[in-house]
Amino acid sequence: MTAKSEIPDQKIHGVTAVVLAGGRSSRYGENKALVTFQGVPLIERALHTMDSIFHRVVLITNTPDAYAYLRVPMFEDLIKGLGPLGGIYTGLQVIPDPAGFFVACDMPFLNPLLIRYMVAIRNDFDVVIPRVSGWVEALHGLYTKNCSQSIRELIASGTYQVFRFFQAVSVRFVDDGEVRQWDPDLKSFLNINTPDELKRLQETTADPAGDHAPVHVRPGSGPESREMAGS
């Protein structure tokens, strides 16, 4: 197992950070990317964390005017209406690096150590992805441009679940125990889909011990992109 001392802390080159903000926020009722958490809009929290890790950050969004103030390179989905798969496909087409690390914009507890670890173990894999209790965290993973053809074929088949193309590429799953080495409470994968979820998380982190209190992730309760996948 890789030790913390073996994880470099300088900005990572050769991998572009890709933040996805293409969702319709239908469950939230407004653009949740601009909702504040601990006084900072969710989109800014995600961009700040990823900018601290990677040498290049881009934003995939179909509403670029909403984020023009951020002054970050933005790209619209090349094929709209595909959900997370479309965001990943677009990111892989527009980034100049051979790989991208993709995250959703509404994940307030992104963990730099876990992200750096996942990049460090990528070797020659096409995908490096967490798999917690059998659930793949599709929007917290590294994907290389080698995935592009398989994603195009998946889109052509009319199937849009991200993990469906995994059988055609090489995948490095990062399972529960390995993830917990860096993120013991699995907070990285929490996201905010409704105002009630925001309120609960605000109350949890308002407690002085909030950052250290366990946050239990129930299968299916986190990112909308969470998908069940076999090995």
Domains of the chain: 10-228 (3.90.550.10)
- Give me the pLDDT at residue 226, please: 61
Distance CA 78, CA 84 (A): 12
Rounded Cα distance between 125 and 90, Å, is 20
Please tell me the predicted confidence (pLDDT) of residue 29.
60
Low-confidence ranges of the chain (pLDDT < 70): 1-8, 23-29, 206-231
Note the pLDDT of residue 193.
78
CA angle 88, 137, 161 (to 5 degrees): 55
Q: What percent of the chain shows pLDDT beyond 70?
A: 82
What is residue 206's predicted lDDT score, i.e. its pLDDT? 59
The reported pLDDT for the residue numbered 207 is 43
Q: What is the pTM of this model?
A: 0.86
Residue whose pair of structure tokens reads 């996201």 in the numeric block: 191
In degrees, rounded to 5, the angle at the alpha carbon of residue 143 between the alpha carbons of residues 216 and 5 is 65
98 contacts: CB under 8 Å, gap ≥ 6? 14, 15, 144, 145
Q: Is 52 helix (H, G, I), strand (E, B) or coil?
A: coil
pLDDT of residue 227: 65
- If you ran DSSP here, which 8-state letter would residue 180 be given? H
List C-alpha distances in Å: 85 to 150, 151, 192, 217.
11, 8, 19, 23
- Tokens 């490096």 found at: 128
